[in-house]
Amino acid sequence: MSSSLVSVLSSTSISSSGSQSSTIIILIIIAVILTLRAYRGFKGVKFSKSAVYFRPVIYTILTIFSVLLISVSYIEILYVVIAIGAGCLIGLKIGGNVRFFEKDYLVYSKRSAIVMTLWLASYAARLAMGYLYPSNLYISLALDLLLASITGIIIGEAYHINDKYKKYIEKMTRKTK
């Protein structure tokens, strides 16, 4: 009888430790991706119009995924949508900190380090708190609202990036004439 109890306990601990190992591996992969994203953002990336629109879509999908991880009501979803909308307005106001430069005859852009750092930190905090305190919906919702508002800022910033790129190209065209 005791040997069957030991085998049940050991199999439980193995599956629990296997689950924990999987979670740690996923968190490490996410940390590497976020670190590379931050590095590229600070260094500057080759400008692409499609990336200007694609990036906010990805951030929005990640935010929505984060919200859907917890059981939320329609009212809480409405709060998240309002937070994204408010963030868009803020992004339209402060999102003009993008810089363009040329390297090897290609146009590169450097986004606002503050906006990018805030989003990456809030996303990492949301993942960590979801792992450490999975049953605390208040912490998760608060971080989701923060994440949603910063996602909105990124959407507003995308508008500025596109607008500043047009002005940059016009300026470069005038220089060559």
Q: What is the pTM of this model?
A: 0.73
SS3 135: coil
C-alpha dihedral, 44 to 50 to 52 to 56, nearest 10°:
-120
Average pLDDT rounded to a whole number, residues 28-34:
78
CA 23 vs CA 14, 72, 81: distances in Å: 14, 23, 29
Angle formed at CA 148 by CA 144 and CA 153, multiple of 5 degrees = 150
SS3 100: strand
Which residues make Cβ contacts (< 8 Å) with residue 136, sequence separation at least 6? 129
Query: Residues 40-71: pLDDT tens digits?
Result: 777 888 888 888 888 889 888 888 887 877 76
